[in-house]
Amino acid sequence: MGDDEIEPQLSSLGTGIETSPASTSREPLGYDRAEATSGLVPYVTITYCPDPTLVGTTLQLTAKPLAIGRAVADGFSIRDRRLSRVHCRLGFDRIRGEFTVEDAGSTNGVHVNGERATAGRASDSAVVRAGSCVFVCMTRDPMQGLKRSVLRVAETELTALILGETGTGKERLARSIHHHSGRAGEFVAVNCASLTRELAEAELFGHSKGAFSGADKARKGLFATADGGTLFLDEIGDTPPSVQVALLRALQERRIRPVGEDKEIPVDVRIVAATHADLMTRITKQEFRADLYARLAQFTLRVPPLRERKTELLSLFREFYGRRALHEIISPSAAEALLLWGWPFNVRELESMVRSFKMLRGETARLDLEYLNEAHPEVSRKAGAASAVPHTGPEIVVPQRHNRQSLEALLKQHAGNISALANELRTSRSQVYRLLKAANLDAEQFRN
């Protein structure tokens, strides 16, 4: 983006389109503008990392695979104790249009879409986990064009129609259009599916005192309330036919007549509408007016579902949680699980998950795979193969007195504190890590 004034409002669709500097999208390192114009710029985005300053960083991939590790001489280094010095290599095969992933002999392994991989290929949007870091492989940013479109339409008076699945954050996008339009008036939203034929005109255009039974005083309608601002017509596709007629005239004339009044009132209202419905199909079935569609669709924006916005998903999680550093509020394995889930109910589903977690575990808890296994097993299932940290080298035999059951009990007792566990076992921290690896236990799952 590169525009400091617009970035805070446009980097995380679905939540007011704002983010923090740590998760700001950046041009990929080594960015080739000629390739960007062609539409194919293979890169990986660091979506989770113990170093919060690196979250959101994008790394372009070239013909030469990019080495990633804790101390890489020719590649990209990340401060992460669970990364080997040279952990893995990520590349892109332009002939086959696939990402390449190679484990460089790491201790803790590499996982692609939840499965252990030594060498292989990955498709667009693949999730790669190395050490405590999680990467997303992309050849295009599905949000980049949308962010530009928001700024373009905000500067005009065109009516905007936002299309997208339920829960993708269409109202939030409408608020962003209003914010960038510079309009001084209010942002007013109405769910058109709830408008009945009897009350629609009074709700939209207002009414005079005594205009109908129960109208004991005059009332401004939504159009008048939004005068000088923006009126958001949500679920426009579910508007009753009779209400569609009333809306069409108001959009054409930019004048309204309150129920019970003789004179029309001019209004200066910016209209933004949204729907999850296929309006063209409804027009064919004569369920939606073609002339109303033409008025609404002067500028159309399509919001991608959350499953296609993996590079922003954890930023949204962090925003819903409360702005603490990402590694403090979610474990690597849980972060990976969220990225692998399909999110059928989109941003709304993610927000509900965060709210229920905070209610059950408290404001300072860290969401981990153990919680997902209990509360959302469908989410954690795909990340199951990556939840335990594998080991390489000779097999470690765990003494009977330090078997999986006893180690698990000690981890619970000490809340995953490795130093306390080492003191309890009268051994070194490194030996504790080896014992846990052999028993397929992850201390992170036991930390509060």
393-422, pLDDT tens digit by residue? 333 333 434 567 778 878 887 888 887 777
Structural domain ending residue among the three candidates 83, 112, 138: 138
- What CATH number is given to the structural domain containing 134? 2.60.200.20
Is position 387 within any domain? no
Number of domains, the chain: 3
Structural domain ending residue among the three candidates 123, 138, 153: 138
Q: Is residue 42 exposed (0-12), middle (13-18) or buried (19+ Cβ within 10 Å)? A: buried
Per-residue model confidence (pLDDT) at position 427? 66
Are 161 and 294 in a shared domain? yes
Per-residue model confidence (pLDDT) at position 406? 76
Are 59 and 133 in a shared domain? yes
Per-residue model confidence (pLDDT) at position 231? 96
Are 109 and 156 in a shared domain? no
Q: Over the stretch 8-61, which tens digit does the pLDDT of each residue have? A: 334 444 433 333 333 334 444 543 333 433 456 899 999 999 999 999 999 999
- What CATH number is given to the structural domain containing 246? 3.40.50.300
Beta strands in 183-308 (DSSP E): 187-191, 206-207, 219-220, 230-234, 255-256, 265-266, 270-275, 299-302
Per-residue model confidence (pLDDT) at position 286? 93
d(CA 174, CA 180): 10
Are 156 and 178 in a shared domain? yes
d(CA 116, CA 113): 9
Is position 376 within any domain? no
Half-sphere exposure of 72 (CA within 13 A, CB side): 21
Are 266 and 161 in a shared domain? yes
Q: What is the mean pLDDT of the chain?
A: 83
Per-residue model confidence (pLDDT) at position 442? 84
Per-residue model confidence (pLDDT) at position 25? 42
pLDDT along the chain (448 residues), means of 10: 34 38 42 43 94 94 91 94 96 90 94 91 93 94 88 95 94 96 94 82 79 73 92 93 88 85 88 95 94 95 94 94 90 96 94 93 90 90 49 34 71 80 68 77 79
List the domain range (segments joined by +) for residue 34.
7-138
